[in-house]
Amino acid sequence: MDTTQNIWNGAVQNIDSVPLVVTHNEEFLRCFRTKERIMQLTADDVQLLRKMADMGDAFAQYGLGRWLYYMQPADDSMSEAETLFLASMNHVPDAMAAYALMWRYGETKENVMDLEKSNKLLEEAIHRGSERAAQQMDRFRIFGMFCDAEPENVAHEIEQRLEHDDDADSYWNVLLAYAYEAQDRKEEAVEQYDEAIKKGNKESYYDLAAIYKQRGNMALYDSLMEEGIREGSAYCCSHRADMMEEDFQLLSADEQQQLQQLLSAQLAKGLKMGDGYCAYLLWSNYYYGTLGFPEDTLKGVQYLKRGARLGDVSCIEQIATLHDDQEWPEVMSCTERYELWLRAARYLPDDKDALCQLRRCNDEAFLLRHKDELERYWKTQWEKLLIVKDEEDGKYDAYV
């Protein structure tokens, strides 16, 4: 087996955690509420889920589907996740919410983004009592993702929920922090991230650290990121791996070697837990031979492919860009290249690069295949882009 494959072979092995028990209650469902919680599952946990899923347990089918959806250990993982959600969603409303998310991002076998179908499924899941669906809908409302942004209303609703539910899922604290940040209520957001961390929400280390970085408090930023790494936060594993090469060169030879070894281990850990951005940073450092990493183009390409499979937009767009620059080592059709830009846009609807690339697409096969989606959703986004272009004095003239 290629040594790089060991980095993403399916589940973490070395994180201290309580063994998973498949129960048909809220406690079990909370284990699959967020991506980072799913990242904490061990190989034994996944083996248990698969065993019980094969026996027809709907909750195990849902849990296994969520793990496959985010960890993508094989080429057919997304398809298998879809099958598991369909098999379990009549018994587990959270599975309906998960299936709705696939329609939102065009990840079903149809390869079509359908917001109306996604929202209908989410609303039905909420009606059936899915807390996961309610959280997902609130996240969309906070950030205005193909809907009106209403962070103030969402914040008020979550405040009421937390006031009356002492056992509320810690992800509500995270969403409340997001709503506060969207209103520039930073201090209140810090309080909610702190509360989420106290409740065991590991991803909040990264969010909290980001606030202190914005404030210029780099000492506290570094401290929180390092603590997050120790506690098992995959997102924190990218810490310092985007250092400027000029700063790296200022270090002594011993310091450079120690930092390179540390970053290599950090990024490998984060990638193994399913963070695609760690794959992007590994690509960058191997591809260009920066931060003490040996230059290895082929290894860098493998990391990019892995990151793209994990849904990291940086990796997806970098593959398309390298192909445009005739630096991608594999043959790719024009349709396949535009599929990458479409996928990036689905994940980040306001991404200017993806929108500009889609707008100037002239590949007939791609345009015919996605005609309805492009007209229903992306035409409006292109119009917004033109408005932004005018406001920014032609910044994107080269594209639009």
Could you tell me how many residues make up the chain?
A: 400
Burial of 318 by CB count in 10 Å (0-12 exposed, 13-18 middle, 19+ buried)? Answer: buried
**What are the C-alpha distances in Å from 181 to residues 36, 54, 192, 214, 358?**
21, 43, 11, 12, 31
12 forms beta bridges with: 42
CB 235 within 8 Å of CB 270: yes
CA-CA-CA-CA dihedral for 220, 226, 232, 237, to nearest 10:
110
| DSSP H helical ranges for 165-312 | 171-182, 186-198, 204-214, 218-231, 245-249, 253-272, 276-288, 297-309
Question: What pLDDT, on a 0 to 100 scale, did the predictor assign at position 298?
Answer: 95
Widest CA span in the chain: 61
CA atoms within 13 A on the CB side of 15: 27
Angle made by CA atoms 158, 126, 27, in degrees to the nearest 5? 75
Reduce the DSSP state of residue 208 to 3 states and report it: helix
Question: Is CATH 1.25.40 the right assignment for the domain spanning 1-128?
Answer: yes
Return phi, psi of residue 399, to 5°.
Answer: -95, -45
42 forms beta bridges with: 12
pLDDT less than 70: residues of the chain = 1-17, 387-400
The residue type found at 218 is: M
Q: Distance of alpha carbon 38 from its chain centroid, rounded?
A: 12
Condensed to tens digits (0 to 9), the pLDDT of residues 19-42 reads 999 999 999 999 999 999 999 999
Question: What pLDDT, on a 0 to 100 scale, did the predictor assign at position 299?
Answer: 97
Reduce the DSSP state of residue 12 to 3 states and report it: strand
The residue type found at 164 is: H
Question: What pLDDT, on a 0 to 100 scale, did the predictor assign at position 385?
Answer: 80
- Cα–Cα distance measured from residue 221 to residue 205, given in angstroms and rounded to the nearest whole number: 9
CB 9 within 8 Å of CB 273: no
**Could you tell me the residue ranges of all domains in the chain?**
1-128, 331-400
Question: What pLDDT, on a 0 to 100 scale, did the predictor assign at position 398?
Answer: 30
pTM: 0.91
Condensed to tens digits (0 to 9), the pLDDT of residues 166-180 reads 899 999 999 999 999
Buried b (16+ CB within 10 A) or exposed e, 117-139: bbbebbebbbeeebbbbbbbbbb
Cβ partners under 8 Å of residue 138, min gap 6? 154, 157, 158, 175
